[in-house]
Amino acid sequence: MRDISSILLKYRECARTIWNSYLLKEEGGSFDDVDEFQQVSQKLFDVLVLRKLQLTLPIEEIGRNPIQAIKLVVTASAGIPVMINRDIGKRGGYWDAPINRLEPSKAEVVFVDFFDWDVLTYRDLQYYLVFIQSFEEQSELVGRYALIEVHHATPMVAEN
> Which residues are within 8 A (CB) of 17 and not within 5 positions of it... i.e. 6 or more apart?
none
160 band by pLDDT with thresholds 50, 70 and 90: low
Per-residue confidence (pLDDT) for residue 89, from 0 to 100: 86
Per-residue confidence (pLDDT) for residue 76, from 0 to 100: 86
* pLDDT per residue as tens digits for the range 119-152: 999 999 999 999 999 998 899 999 999 999 999 9
* pLDDT per residue as tens digits for the range 84-114: 999 998 888 899 999 999 998 889 999 999 9
